[in-house]
Structure 1
Amino acid sequence: MTKKPTIVFCHGIWADGSCFSKVIPALQADGYEVIAVQYGLDSYEEDIAAVKRNLNRVGSPVLLVGHSYGGATITAAGTDERVVGLVFIAAVAPDAGETVQDQLNKFPSDIFNHVEAADNRAWMLPSGVEHFAGDLQKEEQKLVWATHYAPVADLFLQQKLGADDISWKSKPSWYVLATQDHTVHPDLQRWVSKRMNATVTEVDSSHVPMLSQPDIVIDVIRKAADAVANRCLKPSLQFGGGRC
């Protein structure tokens, strides 16, 4: 019998695990064990550690799903041997010696004109929510802004991984590319997804397709989960450093 992978979600900045609330119930109904990591956006190192602590709470194999900055956390945490696949949603994905800020500088986006610094945090201004979640209804945009949480101001400068810390180089990857994204530029998404040789699904969406078009995101996750589960049918097979 095929063993379903556990699905572990990792959120981006200006968000928490509740941003996956429209996709988690459907996957649970499919019989998947699902968990959303809650990290503090205080440092890259601490956020990676939080992901790994959550891997200890669930069964394996694991499919990691990262949105936005969550792509950076799954890049590092995904080297764990329990992780057998990666799904990136409108996400960054640094390489060795490269920071998220390096990537964002290559392809500047509108959102960072709508950010203010306070208490060493980078908060999104009310005007920024249109650039973050512009295809949601206004009432839902207001909810996104009311519940957003800011990262420490220099979080994007803290990623400095070694060559052995880049999971997308050795594990199968899928990528949901948001073509109307004003937070992580679509051209940046095309660049990182091509570099990792991911299976790409484009969606006409803002930065939050899991909220605006959850059915497409659910479909991609299901396909990724089926693919890694089928690979795990062969007990002796190991791929991408993961153990089935």
Structure 2
Amino acid sequence: MPKTKKSIVFCHGLWADGSCFSKLIVPLQAEGYECIAAQYGLNTTAEDVAAAKETIGRVSGPVILVGHSYGGSVITGAGTDDRVVGLVYIAALAPDADETSQTQQAKFPGTDVFSQIEVVDGRIWLRPEGTKYFCGDLSEEEQKLVWATQGAPKPDLFEAKVGGTAWKSKPSWYIVAKKDHTVHPDLERAMAERMGATTYEVASSHVPMLSQPGFVLDVIRKAAGA
């Protein structure tokens, strides 16, 4: 029987791993979508983009890439792959060719979460108190789980260019998190406008896929059906 549905590959951000998409993957799989989440070390952007491309190879094409937060930088680089036909950004970064994740953020006001981080043993860790700025609309139990499963990045992760600008050539959808205290909502709106994305706004913290999964699922379904 011929394949009719697009496959979906998820790319996570800082202080997260692929499990942050669990509320999306389970229902999408039930609907017949091939889904997989890229797991990478947050050591270098080049390694993370390469891991995303390798993960694309584990599902059938064509592929929709979904990136959250720094995962938006990852899909911006990895999305130039010919197997990718669309991009979904969730409260995400999306650097241009001459930008890095850091220079992009520097153009907008700093956010509260960065007052709750510390560098220890060569990694940037989110303090337990920082979850209120990262995922404060989740239950206390879920916030503790987010903290306990965080992926801590290398300090210079944001300094590298991503090696491609997929949103210049691929259809894009963007979810703005209006109550975000990690990536500034004005940055999100500016990125969505610049890439000409189909844009949606939701009253959410930085993690709409956990706090508003139904909303995010609807956007992914629209992207996958386009």
Per the shorter chain, which TM-score range?
Answer: over 0.9
SS in 2 for 1:177: strand
Query: For residues 185-207 of structure 1, what are the alpha-carbon distances to aligned partners after superposition, in whole Å with 9 as ceiling and x for unaligned?
Result: 00000010100000011000000
Please tell me whether residue 222 in structure 1 is matched to residue 224 in structure 2: no
Q: Which position in structure 2 is the counterpart of 1:154?
A: 156
Q: Which position in structure 1 is the counterpart of 2:97?
A: 96
- Gaps of at least 5 residues in structure 2 are none
Separation of aligned partners in 1, 2:191 and 2:222: 20
Separation of aligned partners in 2, 1:141 and 1:56: 32
Alpha-carbon spacing, 1:35–1:113, altered in 2? closer, same or farther (3 Å): same
**Per-residue deviation at 1:2?**
7.4
Quick check: 2:71–2:92 contact (8 Å CA) kept in 1?
yes
Quick check: 1:97–1:160 contact (8 Å CA) kept in 2?
no
**Per-residue deviation at 1:160?**
5.3
Query: For residues 5-43 of structure 1, what are the alpha-carbon distances to aligned partners after superposition, in whole Å with 9 as ceiling and x for unaligned?
Result: 100000001000000011111111111000001011010
**Per-residue deviation at 1:130?**
0.3
Separation of aligned partners in 2, 1:147 and 1:57: 24
Q: Which position in structure 1 is the counterpart of 2:11?
A: 10
Separation of aligned partners in 2, 1:52 and 1:139: 33
Size of the alignment, in residue pairs?
224
SS in 2 for 1:22: helix
Structure 1 counterpart of 2:47, one-letter code: E
SS in 1 for 2:88: strand
Structure 1 counterpart of 2:150, one-letter code: H
- TM-score of the two chains, using structure 2 as the length reference: 0.97
Q: Which position in structure 2 is the counterpart of 1:233?
A: none
Give the counterpart of 1:116 among 95, 99, 118.
118
**Per-residue deviation at 1:159?**
2.0
- TM-score of the two chains, using structure 1 as the length reference: 0.90
Structure 2 counterpart of 1:110, one-letter code: D
Q: Which position in structure 2 is the counterpart of 1:177?
A: 176
Please tell me whether residue 54 in structure 1 is matched to residue 55 in structure 2: yes
Structure 2 counterpart of 1:215, one-letter code: G
Separation of aligned partners in 1, 2:160 and 2:166: 18
- Gaps of at least 5 residues in structure 1 are 228-244
| Fraction of identical pairs, as percent | 62
SS in 2 for 1:21: helix
Moved over 3 A (4+): none
Separation of aligned partners in 2, 1:71 and 1:28: 22
